[in-house]
Amino acid sequence: MKRTKILVVGAGPVGAIAAYRLALAGLEVALVEADAFPREDMRASTLHPPTLSMLNELGLLDTLDAQGLRAPVYNYRNRRTGNVLAFDMAEIADMTPYPYRLQCEQFKVTRLITPLLEKLPNAQMLFQRRLINFTQDDDGVTAHFETPFDIETWRADYMIGADGANSIVRKWLQIPFEGFTYPEKFLTLSTDHPLEKEIPNLATVNYVADPDEWCVILKVPSFWRVLVPVPDDSSDEQILSEDNKTAIFSRLIGAEKAPSVETAHRTIYRVHQRVAERYRQGRVMLAGDAAHLNNPLGGFGMNSGVHDAWNVTGKLIEIYKDGGDADALLDRYERQRRTVMLEFVQAQTIKNKQAMESATGDVTAMEQELSGLLADPEGRRAYLKRQAMLSSMEREATIQ
């Protein structure tokens, strides 16, 4: 039987950050991943100011900043009229040292952390280990992992399940995953075509409202990424087809130029709004997509998962280093992060999607609301603060 203080299951950005912070604090930790290497997942790419502060504290921000794009300005666009509403995060520079979003694909976070983790004497980075099952008692957790050649058994004081939307940890705990799944599928297309030359006033991040086909257009260092909803009754083959790609870009930049657009990635995925009934059961905690899922409008999903990791690791460090009351602290983790998820992330992402889809004539609901905010300095600053996830972190701190 192998032993460690804390097992972290899942080496995406949430699990990697959790394990690295624990290791830097001097705690024994093992990060366990089913895949053979960090997966190149292109879905999440926005890092908000509180997340940047956390990455800076871990000594990771300078490297990621060099690999990403700063996006202080983001646009809301009315696809029908071409009207553009611009919001500049420089306006909240008095609230954060990072008044911008950093566009940096999530796999870069994991690929940065995992080799650093392997160099620490109190940490282990373990690939090709799929969690089979686990049990827990008053003193710890016993987990069994399938490797390419055998079954490994691990014993730990605590376990963090950061193993994604289909979390085996959550399923073994039999924790209900309440919420709903959107009827449409989402398609992401990545292209190096210079969309900034085709679409006037294109910012690094753009939310394009339209009741017929809303979309998100954002820039990462190597590509423009376009996210669009697609009908649920369309086959995956049709959705990923060249004809569909050309049709989407025809609506964006015109039928003459669309056929020449080449894509590096075409990815279909389902989008959910779900929150686990509990984030903690005994000595096992859930974090990230294992605990909650939401639509991508606002870029809150990965960030809220990182904030989960930061919160629960802070509690574990306090337990080990300061003799903190484990039950009280870990119960507070659940109260703080689950409350913020329900009150802020779920509510805001649902509202964002509804606003991009609805319109009266040529005026979208989003345009109507945000035009008023642009004319209201106090309301605009509050909105920027909320979208930057600074308000949710303040709310978390008030929950005891």
Residues 248-272 pLDDT 10s: 999 999 999 999 999 999 999 888 9
Q: Which of 105, 132, 135 is nearest to 38 (CA)?
A: 105
What does pLDDT average to over the chain? 93
pLDDT given for residue 82 in this prediction: 86
pLDDT given for residue 202 in this prediction: 94
Q: Is the pLDDT of residue 81 over 90?
A: no
* Of 105-119, 265-279, 356-370, the least confident: 356-370
Distance CA 382, CA 376 (A): 10
Q: Hey, which residues does 70 pair with through a beta bridge?
A: 102
pTM over 0.75? The answer is yes
Q: Report the 10 Å Cβ neighbour count for 233.
A: 9
* Of 111-120, 123-132, 209-218, 274-283, the least confident: 209-218
User: What are the tens digits of pLDDT across the range 118-153?
Assistant: 999 999 999 999 999 999 999 999 999 999 999 999
Instruction: Give strand ranges (E) for 16-71.
Output: 29-32, 46-47, 69-71
DSSP secondary structure of 191-217: E-S-HHHHSTT--SEEEEE-SS--EEE
User: What are the tens digits of pLDDT across the range 40-68?
Assistant: 766 678 999 999 999 999 999 999 999 99
Most confident of the ranges 40-49, 73-82, 164-173: 164-173
Structure tokens at 55: 């990455």
Structure tokens at 264: 């590096």
Stretch 166-183: mean pLDDT: 94
Contact 193, 76 (CB under 8 A): no
Pairing of strands 177-181, 185-191: unpaired
Confidence of residue 366 (pLDDT cuts 50, 70, 90): confident
Q: Is the pLDDT of residue 218 over 70?
A: yes
Confidence of residue 356 (pLDDT cuts 50, 70, 90): confident
